[in-house]
Amino acid sequence: MEALRFSPDGQFVSAITAGGSFFTWSLRTRRQVSFEAYETSFPRAAALSGNHRLAMAQGLDGGNWIQVFDTRDGKELHGLEGTQDSDLRAIALSGEGSLLAAIADKGPPWLWDLSRKPRVRKLRGAKGRLRVVAVSEDGTRTVAAGEDGFVYVWNSRTGRLLKTLRGGERSIVSVAVSADGRWVLAGSEDAQARLWDLRTGKQVWSMEEEAIPIGAVALSGDGTRAVTSGKELQLWDLQQGSVLAESSSGPSPVVLSADNAFIAAGGYDAMWLMDTRSGHRFEFSLNGQMDAIAALVVSPDGKRAASSSQSASVRLWDMAGGTAQELASGREQPPMAVAFSQDGRKLLSASRDGLVRLWDPREPSTGRTLVKLPPEPTVLVTSPAGPYAVLSGSDGALRLWNLEEEKEVRRYGEEGGPAYYPVVFSADGKRLFAAREEHGVDVWEVETGQQVKRLEPSGYEVTSFAASGEVVAAGTRDGHIQLWKAQTLEPLFRLSGHEYGIRTVSLSGDGKWVLSVGEDWTVRLWDAKTGAQQAALGPQSNYDLPASAVFEPGGQSFLVGDNAGVIHRFVFEGQ
């Protein structure tokens, strides 16, 4: 892992790997929403900004080059030539991507102004060999440190050296600067992390590990929180000097979300996300993710299945022959959800840019746009008892559509509020169950639009829904599945077994069986009558990690989609 970055609004986290693969995940759904493979040799260093900029440094034809891309469309914006007599070691971007700093094995740091035609200056004053570099979010300060144990701070606008801070006897191996450029945090080979107030130049905080270098650090925007990655990964309250959250391992690099709620940390073949409020960790694999199946549905007659993947494709599967037809691909925005209409004659998909498309599965080449929602749609679900679908953009409103008349007929919720996700119809199509983060589950009467109840499944948000004539099931972020009676909404069981959160949950048509996929990469089958776990399936390798699962009609078989884009079919004998 070369670099990590949270989006400014805290909704997404992105990563760039040593092989040039760029990933973005939604923190809301814990699902990958974009992937791009940049055609470049293995970069020596990489950096991400908050406004969709990616910089990669590499050696080409005996020289050093830095390419800057716009991650929204993959286009190269700048090609920068670096020092020719020394290999580039590290690069950093400001928050808006207008400044790029780079250090090489020898010589001073280089700072490019990318706001117009790229201009470069050398930052003078550092005496030792530099190893790490950082730029504040506002671009006012550039910081570098290295083998002499000193931290150097420059005014980015003038290039003047402002501070030289003593960091210890050993080499500095990690550095971070607060958004406003006031605070600097550095980790060193002597197993210490130190924080300075640049207004005074004084060291105001320090911590020490057990002989393990502090290989990565991160600092909150206001300088009140810090993350250190040595023997353990720890979140610190810098005002109290106390540990707020920690993890048993400390991969590198690390980054802290703007609201301090999440820490992202990179390893060799995975990214870890830790919820600092609960201490739960979630793993995002970096293997085979381009074709990972994000959503999987089966047509009412069981003859077809449809899936959406991270490679911007919707695939329609023939269940008899096992063949697939790709309905959308290329540079389109990745589809986030797919659904069949109640009669199976329509297939819908919703993509990240808010585009909802409509196909006839019998003539899939006839795909067309149904409606354009606000970006980042969170909901696409169809009624099992009528020609209706509920759609939702990022504006918080649920829209009921008549698919025969192709028009909106009703709305639930208010625009501007927290977005609903997930949502499911009851088996008879008369009720709508809609979850919002930290707001429980709202239950609506579909015909009248009246909210009739609010359910509280647990202290954690709901991640997935399923409903049958007998049971309603909700998977939650803490790895449990709550079951209610479909008619009375009385609580039944709380199923426990997954180590982390629930990715998807499905119910057999008769309500006897519950199927779940967890963040622990296992598929589990449960008896809905007793709450007993009947089976647990795990992956054979990092290339067949289960991502989604759904029952087929009849309830005696189910499908599992994995992170390599393969669908597996399982048959069992129900009791």
Task: Say how far apart CA 140 and CA 137 lie, in whole Å.
Answer: 8
Q: Which residues have a Cβ under 8 Å from the Cβ of 409 and sit 6 or more positions away?
A: 388, 400, 401, 402
Residues 219-240: pLDDT tens digits?
A: 998 889 999 998 888 999 998 9
Q: Rounded to an integer, what distance in angstroms lies between the CA atom of residue 568 and that of residue 288?
A: 16
- Domains present along the chain, CATH in parentheses: 49-285 (2.130.10.10), 456-575 (2.130.10.10)
Q: What is the pLDDT of residues 386-405, one digit of tens each?
A: 999 999 877 888 999 999 99
- CA atoms of 137 and 120, how far apart (whole Å): 19
The predicted model gives 78-87 an average pLDDT of 80
Cβ–Cβ under 8 Å, residues 162 and 130: no
pLDDT for position 74: 86
- Answer whether 214's CB lies under 8 Å from 187's CB: yes
| C-alpha separations of 81 from 92, 120, 158, 182, 188 in Å | 15, 10, 22, 31, 30
Residues above pLDDT 90, as percent of the chain = 53
Give the H or E element holding residue 175. Answer: strand 172-177
Which amino acid would we find at residue 542? N
Q: Which residue has the tokens 């959250």?
A: 245
More confident residue, 19 or 7: 7
pLDDT tens profile 259-307: 999 999 987 667 888 888 877 777 776 654 456 788 899 999 999 999 9
C-alpha 36/C-alpha 72 separation (Å) is 9
Structure tokens at 469: 């004539």
Rounded CA-CA distance 172/165 in Å is 11
pLDDT of residue 190 exceeding 60:
yes
Residue of higher predicted confidence among 461 and 523: 523
CA 71, CA 90: separation in Å to the nearest integer? 20
Global pTM value: 0.65
DSSP state for residue 290 in the 8-state scheme: G
- How high is the pLDDT of residue 129? 92
**What is the residue-averaged pLDDT of the chain?**
87
Task: Write the pLDDT tens digit of every residue in 432-453.
Answer: 999 886 668 999 999 999 999 8
Which residues lie below 8 Å from residue 465, measured CB to CB, with a gap of 6+? Answer: 422, 423, 424, 433, 435, 472, 473, 474, 475, 505
